[in-house]
Structure 1
Amino acid sequence: MSLSFRTLATFTACLCFALALIWGVRPDLLLLMWDVEYSSATGLVARRNAALFLALGVMFYRIRHAVPCDTRRAVTLGFITGCFVLAALGLSEWISGHAGPGILLAVATETVLGLAFIQAHKASVTQPQTSR
């Protein structure tokens, strides 16, 4: 199944907005799912993560209609890199026992998103683009 960049960017923006809300308002829920104890330190990091997810959501929402260009490629490749690094870190934390098996949902999501953006990037390179 081939996803268009527009569809994938819209989905990613919505996911990032949801994560920003959860990390900002109820980080204890995600940390509980990962078997990580909530503390003032994890709360501080969680709220800062919320701001980063909000920024990513705004970026993907705004770029969703962009035709293939250097800017779109930079955002896409940066996000792919981030997804795969986060997936590797999550897997490492689970293997080392710092996080429970709930983190594997994040690892799977990050891996799928990274692969989906690779597919959308390749599809946009090989297909002529039409206007909105």
Structure 2
Amino acid sequence: MNVNFRNLAILSALVFFALGFAWMLAPSFFPSRWGVEFSYPVGLIGRRGAALYVGIGVMFFSARNAEPSSARSALVKGFTVACLTLAGLGVFELLTGHARSGILAAVLIEAALALAFVCVARIGDASHEAGTLSS
């Protein structure tokens, strides 16, 4: 797969749609993998978070054809900060004993998505600047 903003946005949209629907339809799935006891409040928070995952999926799918711009940069920066924060929190929960090693799969995916978007943003910004300079 060619790594560019369009492909990464589509991949991210699909991942977030899957996460959103998994949390809505099977809210005990992820907590059980992470070694977190499932309860109704955990499910409630998970289902509410699912709406945000689906919304992020819609944003990335809608923005998949966006050219380098301040809006696309804002989307990438916000998503990168969110992914790195989630990854950091996952490591923290593991180290403090609140989650088991199953959470590392989520941490790795979050870190990989953040890194991929940083790389694509740098490539896209560089090619956009080169095009501006040659015009």
Normalising by the residue count of structure 1, what TM-score does the alignment of the two structures yield?
0.94
Length, aligned pairs only:
129
- What is the distance in 1 between the residues matched to 2:111 and 2:123? 18
8 Å Cα contact 1:3-1:119 kept in structure 2: no
2:21 corresponds in structure 1 to: 21
Deviations 1:67-111 (A, max 9, x none): 011111001000000000000000000000001100000000000
Point out the more displaced range, 2-11 or 87-96: 2-11
Deviation at 1:126, TM superposition (A): 1.2
- Name stretches of at least 5 consecutive residues in structure 1 with no aligned partner: none
* Identity %, equivalent residues: 40
Give the root-mean-square deviation of aligned CA atoms: 1.3
2:57 corresponds in structure 1 to: 57
2:113 corresponds in structure 1 to: 113
Larger Cα Rg: Structure 1 or Structure 2?
A: 2
1:43 corresponds in structure 2 to: 43
2:90 corresponds in structure 1 to: 90
1:70 corresponds in structure 2 to: 70
8 Å Cα contact 1:12-1:60 kept in structure 2: yes
8 Å Cα contact 1:2-1:119 kept in structure 2: no
